[in-house]
Amino acid sequence: MGPVISTTDILEYKDVNGLKCPSVISISGPISMKLTAESINVNKGVADSEFAIQ
């Protein structure tokens, strides 16, 4: 078996708090799939302490 070639396309974006986030992604190749985000949260529920350098 040699290299496997696949193509990933971003089909749709959603505006989330001013950021454009991919919401529909299509992957084509030997196994194809379409991924659709039901919801997108940005920095929701992440405490500042999670980013602290110790």
pLDDT in tens, 2-52: 999 999 999 999 999 899 999 999 999 999 999 999 999 887 888 888 889
pLDDT number for residue 48: 87
| Amino acid 31: pLDDT | 94
User: How far apart are alpha carbons 9 and 18 in whole angstroms?
Assistant: 22
What does the domain layout of the chain look like in residue ranges? Answer: 1-38
- Amino acid symbol at 17: N
Please enumerate in sequence order all residues whose Cβ is within 8 A of that of 21, keeping only pairs 6 or more positions apart, or say none.
Answer: 13, 14, 15, 37, 40, 42
Q: pTM (2 decimals)? A: 0.71
